[in-house]
Amino acid sequence: MTVTIYHNPSCGTSRNTLAMIRQSGEEPVIVEYLKHPPDRVRLRALADAMGIPIRALLREKGTPYAELDLGNPKWTDDQLLDFMLAHPILVQRPIVETPKGTRICRPSETVLELLDRPAASFTKEDGEVVRR
């Protein structure tokens, strides 16, 4: 199975998601999207694969979302993509792609439905135990 994670190593949810993938026996392709941001076509393809609008790819917390007034409905999809390309931190994370589907894995245990052999349980960094 090919697994790709759009990952931010500074994000606990992203680190937990990556650990759950590895615990399942998969070594994913890791795209550190802050260093290597996806292009416009890839961002649109990710949204399409998830069946979500471009706006749903936006992350608010810890980003310039408010300063850029991105909650304003005046922005078109193309304009929102321009903002994400200029500020990759605006891209929601982690996004995981597998043959079973593509999802924003928040909470991190969302990734379990995308894996062939998810572990029976996983302990997150904060000590929370996730069971399938």
pLDDT for 12-53, tens place per residue?
999 999 999 999 999 999 999 999 999 999 999 999 999 999
Strand ranges (DSSP E) for the chain? 4-7, 29-32, 95-98, 101-104, 121-123, 129-131
Domain 38-92 fold is Glutaredoxin (3.40.30)
Q: What six digits make up the tokens of 89? A: 């931190």
| Residue 132 confidence (pLDDT) above 90 | no
| Catalytic residue IDs | 11
pTM: 0.94
Same CATH topology for 1-33+93-126 and 38-92: the answer is: yes
CATH number at 1-33+93-126: 3.40.30.10
For the chain, the structural domain boundaries read: 1-33+93-126, 38-92
| Residue 1 confidence (pLDDT) above 90 | no
pLDDT for 95-121, tens place per residue?
999 999 999 999 999 999 999 999 999
Confidence of residue 82 (pLDDT cuts 50, 70, 90): very high
